[in-house]
Amino acid sequence: MATSASPSVVDLEKQFLLQNYARYPLVLHRGKGCYVYDTSGKRYLDLIAGIGVNALGYAHPRLTKVIREQAGLLLHTSNLYYHEYQGPLAERIARVSGLDRVFFCNSGAEAMEGALKMARSHGRKISPEKIEVVALENSFHGRTFGALSITGQEKYRRDFEPLVPGARFVPRNDLAALEQVVGERTAAIVFELVQGEGGIYPVSAEYARQARELADRHNALLIFDEIQCGVGRPGTYFSYQMFNPIVMPDVMVAAKPIACGIPLGVIVAKEPAAAALGAGMHGSTFGGGPLACRVALEFFDILEPLLPHIVDTGGYFRVRLTDLAKRYSFIKEIRGFGLMIGVELDIPGKQIVLDAMDEGLLLNCTHETVLRMLPPYILTEQDVERAIAVLNKIFKRR
């Protein structure tokens, strides 16, 4: 297999880095639009885009411009002072989400930690026993202790137990199980509306509505994790807006694409939930710095007119993948919304990912058999055709 990994880079990492990542043998050097180039100059169409972060691809001219400008003005202020961009970005996020207040941090897991603190504080104001968090089996919410505690996959949790107490897991879309578990001790119900790491599995509108109803009945917070499935990826701003009527959460967390590669996470809450984190109860040194906030504002300006394109291109991609599925019986199912796509195989996906890389196409495999695509929102039908041609070539060899 072709590799661009220069021995010195690989050797240095082997010697000096924690060995927690299993990297592909590829050293990336630069990118433009939906394409990245390795250090040998080989070009790749990138359908995984930094695991859903590079929403506008690489070197977007408007983002490059504001990053350059802001780097010469202010990179960091701390939250001791105001800067010009947090307020306007918070207003923008509140407006597009339909929620009231925003907290800025640096990653998905950090956002989830804050949301869990919000839930704990909300519950404890009612009763010291109200500390349970109901989450879904097969979910993924991050690697920190709190987020891991509500991640419903044993393989991520087992080496770190005991975790934060109070997590209860239920199967996705099982209304009776949810009804049975949610009660007076429930501080929050948390889920992704489309499980990402778990293999692109959606939650039904009926289930989301039932969760809303149960949260209201038991005075618990309904928290949606929009870190992978939100912020434009479904073709709406957030995935809860795909339902008709919309199912509103009390709290929503987002991260990944929100500042297109500059770390930024958000907790967005309705007024009563937001009040659970009062003065001095939470904070983040780097959270919501001027660079990240300014880039995110620019991104939201670009995103609004892009939303219909995400729906169209995602739909087109799924149609073309369905055509492939008719030709290859090992393709079991095509799932997803907008530009969040899973192709379930009944053979292992790992070698397909490596073969695709050889052919200049980057994608990823989750849960052993699900090819996962989280491409940039600027993907075109022409790019889709290129991806389909590569996949067809690889599948033919199977």
Label residue 196 exposed, middle or buried (CB < 10 Å: 0-12, 13-18, 19+): buried
Please choose, out of 18-26, 27-35, 78-86, 189-197, the segment that lies near ligand PLP by the rule CB under 6 A. Answer: 189-197
| Residue 221: strand pairing partners | 188
In whole angstroms, how close is the CB of 41 to ligand PLP at the nearest point? Answer: 30
Cα dihedral 42, 18, 267, 135 in deg (nearest 10): 110
Nearer to ligand PLP, 364 or 369 (CB): 364
Which letter, b or e, does each residue of 43-64 get, where b requires 16 or more Cβ atoms within 10 Å of its Cβ? ebbbbbbbebbbbbbbebeebe
Contact call for residue 225 and ligand PLP (CB under 6 A): yes
State which residue, 46 or 192, has the beta carbon closest to ligand PLP: 192
Structure tokens at 56: 């506008």
- What's the closest the beta carbon of residue 43 comes to ligand PLP, in angstroms? 26
CB of 366 to ligand PLP, least distance (A): 10
CB of 292 to ligand PLP, least distance (A): 13
**Options 140-148, 278-286, 287-295, 390-398: segment touching ligand PLP (CB under 6 A):** 140-148
Strand partners for 32: 35
Count of residues binding ligand PLP (CB under 6 A)? Answer: 15
Tell which positions 29-88 bind ligand PLP, by CB under 6 A.
Answer: 51
Q: Is 364 in the site for ligand PLP (CB under 6 A)?
A: no
Residue in 57, 196, 249, 314 binding ligand PLP, rule: CB under 6 A: 196
Our CB check for ligand PLP shows the closer of 373 and 384 to be 373
Determine, following the binding rule CB under 6 A, whether residue 314 of this chain makes contact with ligand PLP.
Answer: no
The least CB distance from residue 140 to ligand PLP, in Å, is: 5
Which residue stretch of 68-76, 138-146, 333-341, 357-365 sits at the interface with ligand PLP (rule: CB under 6 A)? 138-146
Is residue 197 near ligand PLP by the rule CB under 6 A? yes
How many residues belong to the chain?
A: 398
* Closest separation in Å from C-beta 284 to ligand PLP: 13
Instruction: Give CA separation, 227 vs 37, 40, 153, 243, 393, in Å.
Output: 27, 33, 17, 18, 33
Smaller CB distance to ligand PLP: residue 38 or 113? Answer: 113
Separation between Cα atoms, residue 172 and residue 338, nearest integer Å:
21
DSSP calls for 245-307: S----SEEEE-GGGGTTS--EEEEE-HHHHTTS-TTS---SSTT-HHHHHHHHHHHHHHHHHH
Strands (E), the chain: 28-32, 35-38, 43-46, 101-105, 132-136, 167-170, 186-191, 194-195, 201-202, 221-225, 251-254, 265-269, 331-337, 340-345, 361-362, 364-366, 370-373
| 228 touching ligand PLP, by CB under 6 A | yes
Residue 107 within binding range of ligand PLP, rule CB under 6 A: yes
Interface with ligand PLP (CB under 6 A), residue from 192, 344, 355, 383: 192
Shortest reach from residue 77's CB to ligand PLP, in Å? 22
Instruction: Tell which positions 229-258 bind ligand PLP, by CB under 6 A.
Output: 255
Given a contact cutoff of 8 angstroms between Cβ atoms, the answer to whether 357 and 371 are in contact is no
Answer yes or no whether residue 370 interacts with ligand PLP by CB under 6 A.
no
d(CA 109, CA 101): 19
Give 240's Cβ-side CA count (13 Å radius): 27
Distance of CA 17 to the CA centre of its chain: 25
Structural Rg of the chain based on CA atoms: 21
Q: Which of residues 146-185 bind ligand PLP (CB under 6 A)?
A: none
Binder among 92, 120, 130, 141 for ligand PLP (CB under 6 A):
141
- Does 199 bind ligand PLP (CB under 6 A)? Our answer is no
**Stretch binding ligand PLP (CB under 6 A), from 66-74, 134-142, 233-241, 366-374:** 134-142
Q: Cβ–Cβ contacts within 10 Å for residue 246, how many?
A: 14
Between 195 and 210, name the residue whose CB sits nearer to ligand PLP. 195
DSSP label at 239? G
CA 195, 49, 55, 314 dihedral sign is negative
Contacts with ligand PLP, residue ranges (CB under 6 A) = 51, 107-109, 112, 140-142, 192, 196-197, 225, 227-228, 255
